[in-house]
Amino acid sequence: HKHVETYKGGWRSPPDNFYHVLKRAYQLGWQLGLHSAGDDASVVITDILERILKESPREDHRHHLIHVEVGPPSETLNKMRDLGIGVALQPNFTYGLQPFFTLALKGDQLARNNPSRTLLNHGIKVTFGSDERPYGPMYGLYAAVTRRGADGNVYGPEEAISLEQAIRAYTIDAAWQT
């Protein structure tokens, strides 16, 4: 069981390859939206984006991480804020995928799932969407505000946000991000 407790996920491509791919996309003027489910992945991707943005600064780049299912450390969150890197969350995952998350995440990781409040408190632009899940935005609004999973349990209540913040993330801020 030790492997389950220390497993950090897997990379589809070695992290060292990302710099070259992302740098080229950035040079072409693309806005980068990068899937990052785990805390370690968010640290690595943020560090790569920091390197690229320092080498070739660009105003209003609107780069963002997608998912951030487990919030990264404060140092990375502060770096994201300072670099203007946003996060596209899917709060409906807290509701609909909670049975999976309770198997895959433990303790503090489970409470930090979909860390809306933490991201906003760090001054990071947060947008909401549904990914490809068959849940309408009402599920996401419900989950963002209540932190309640489909099983009826509340997960990480300290990550709850106001209804106004959730509506803004789904509308005005999501339109800005895209």
Task: Lay out the sheet containing 33-36: strands in order across.
Answer: 33-36, 64-67, 86-89, 126-128
In this structure, how many other beta carbons lie within 10 angstroms of the beta carbon of residue 159?
22
**Per-residue H/E/C for 70-87:** ECCCHHHHHHHHHHCCEE
What's the pLDDT score for residue 103?
80
Average pLDDT score, the chain = 89
Contact 69, 93 (CB under 8 A): yes
The predicted model gives 154-162 an average pLDDT of 94
Full-model pTM = 0.90
Among 10-19, 83-92, 149-158, name the most confident range. 83-92
Contact 120, 87 (CB under 8 A): no
> Rounded to whole angstroms, how far apart are CA atoms 51 and 23?
9
Q: State pLDDT tens for residues 119-132.
A: 999 999 999 998 87
Confidence of residue 6 (pLDDT cuts 50, 70, 90): low
CB contact set of 157 (below 8 Å; sequence gap of 6+): 147
Q: Among residues 140, 73, 145, which one has the least CA distance to residue 109?
A: 73
Confidence of residue 2 (pLDDT cuts 50, 70, 90): very low
